[in-house]
Amino acid sequence: MRLGIDFGTTRTVVCAVDHGAYPVIGFDTGAGEHRPWYPSLLALSGDRVLAGWRAEALRSDPKWTLLHSFKRWLADAGPESTLEVAGEEWRRIELLARFLRCLREDLRERSSLETRSRKTFDVLVAVPANAASGQRFVTLEAFRQAGFRVLGLINEPSAAGIEYAHRFGTRSGARRKEKLLVYDLGGGTFDASVVRITGRHHEILANDGVPRLGGDDFDAELLALALETADLPGPGALPEGARDRLLEHCRRVKEGIHANTQKLVVDLGSEIPGAGRVTVAVRDFDARCAPLVERTLFAVESAIARCSDGARAEDLAGIYRVGGASELPLVGRMLRRHWGNKVRLSPEARSATALGLALAADASSGVTLRERFTRYFGVWREAEEGRRVAFDAIFPKDAPLPAPGEEPLVFRRRYRPIHTIGHFRYLECTEIDEHGQPAGSLTPWSEIYFPFHPALRDADDLDRRPIGLLPRDHDQQIEEQYTCDAQGVMEVTLKNRTHGYKRTYRLRG
């Protein structure tokens, strides 16, 4: 069975591929009802781990430690990254895999999915467009470790663009061409992507975003405002468990806001003895949150400005709001102030990404997608005879990725080294400054050592050996060959062409 799984910061949504239909899967809450999402929540007690609605039921149980919004700490995760939970070190990839194993079990035993067979789930999954490659690797690997068969990974706003075309596409099937900006404001991240849609083919023209901005931040503003109104210390003074439960309460209050809401009631007394209920004005909440929305508008303008075909705002067919936090009336008002009636809210803002994933996973849908690099990837090189280092961008931001089934991208560089050992330090970044140096968000990647001197060709301890200069009579020609596939997985083959030996490495963030 094929599924589209949108692992979100606060909610995970699953859509099935079912003979041309794409139902959103409901999960048993344990309270006699099904909800069309699965809480992105972990509960730990010793070596026991529960997730989803079973974890939700343990929020007030002191014997359990709850992890919520844990997608956010994947932003800088690598294969060996750890997290301390209740005094114990956990590998982040293992925590995510444990969550996904629970999801897989609950799909079979506690959901509306019409299968209880042991058939493998074939899944297409998504990550934020601005996700670093380490997060992409950890996400893919955790799904595999959890027993899913991964068909592929695409960016969340790209999936939402597919849902838009499915929902609003021409009935005649004509190859209408249009450009759409997907405004994806979820629980923990914000992405803006410009998509060119031609019939069933989708091509990403540009991406931008804010890695740590989402509904969680609006919840925090509401809690801070309520405490301030009650003349109480800020959220940092609260015990962790009480703070988390109040933030969850604020999330529910926030999600109840509609266009005519004027007042919000926050029950601080549920966790703070004697605090009672506090009433705050929506206009005050909006004033606190407006700077957050302004940051998303800047990213939208940046994405439009960087479009590879020179697209302008007036060329867009629409600005499509998806993600739970995009439903806030404040977001719609501020977007319309800039772009008027081009702004459209998805009728299913919380499930649009999962539906787009299911469509893309359905081989009979005819949907094709071409993604682009969302960051610069390169290597530090010595310049001016070693007096400084310079960043060499190998794959630039917004360069097109190969489509599934196409040959990988290939980049080669040849040179004659002066050192005995090559020390390759890889990096990705969101921006390049006017001097060609990395800027914005920087993520270090693998470090690799390669023997330039043929006498070291079999050495496996190059990282512990001193790096010297090659003798003048040792003229070596070195070739670097980089490949990148449709998933963004990169490999480098380093070859001494003079003596015919080489090594191949899988690069990871």
pLDDT tens digits for range 413-471: 999 999 999 999 999 888 898 888 888 878 888 789 999 999 999 999 999 999 999 99
Q: Domain boundary at 311, 335, 370, which?
A: 370
- Tell me, what's the pLDDT at 301? 94
Q: Please give the angle made by the CA atoms of 31, 36 and 41, to the nearest 5 degrees.
A: 70
If asked whether residues 116 and 37 sit together in one domain, one would say yes
If asked whether residues 120 and 132 sit together in one domain, one would say yes
CATH number of the domain at 385, please. Answer: 2.60.34.10
Q: Is 397 helix (H, G, I), strand (E, B) or coil?
A: coil
If asked whether residues 62 and 192 sit together in one domain, one would say yes
| CA atoms of 26 and 32, how far apart (whole Å) | 12
If asked whether residues 313 and 383 sit together in one domain, one would say no
The lowest-confidence range among 253-262, 319-328, 329-338, 499-508 is 499-508
- Tell me, what's the pLDDT at 430? 85
Q: Domain boundary at 289, 322, 351, which?
A: 289
> Which residues share a beta bridge with 443?
428
If asked whether residues 155 and 64 sit together in one domain, one would say yes
| CA atoms of 231 and 245, how far apart (whole Å) | 20
If asked whether residues 480 and 443 sit together in one domain, one would say yes
Instruction: Please give the average per-residue pLDDT across 396-410, as a whole number.
Output: 88
CATH number of the domain at 46, please. Answer: 3.30.420.40
* Model pLDDT for residues 135-191, shown as the tens digit of each residue: 888 999 999 999 999 998 999 999 999 999 999 874 444 456 689 999 999 999 999
* Model pLDDT for residues 297-351, shown as the tens digit of each residue: 999 999 999 886 666 778 898 999 999 999 999 999 999 999 999 999 999 999 9
What confidence category does residue 128 fall into, taking pLDDT thresholds of 50, 70 and 90? Answer: very high
How many domains does the structure of the chain reveal? 3
Of 194, 212, 213, 210, nearest to 202 by C-alpha is 194
Q: Domain boundary at 326, 346, 370, which?
A: 370
- Tell me, what's the pLDDT at 60? 86
Token output for 384: 């001016």
CATH number of the domain at 232, please. Answer: 3.90.640
Element (H, E) at 306: none
The answer to whether the CB of 215 falls within 8 A of the CB of 350 is no
Return the percent helix, strand and coil in the chain, to nearest 5. Answer: 30, 35, 35
The lowest-confidence range among 87-96, 344-353, 493-502 is 87-96
Of 76, 206, 203, nearest to 131 by C-alpha is 76
If asked whether residues 328 and 200 sit together in one domain, one would say yes
Task: Say whether pTM exceeds 0.95.
Answer: no
The answer to whether the CB of 247 falls within 8 A of the CB of 221 is no
| CA atoms of 509 and 155, how far apart (whole Å) | 17
Residue ranges making up the domain that contains 175: 2-212+290-370
pLDDT of residue 410 exceeding 50 = yes
- Tell me, what's the pLDDT at 230? 96
If asked whether residues 397 and 409 sit together in one domain, one would say yes
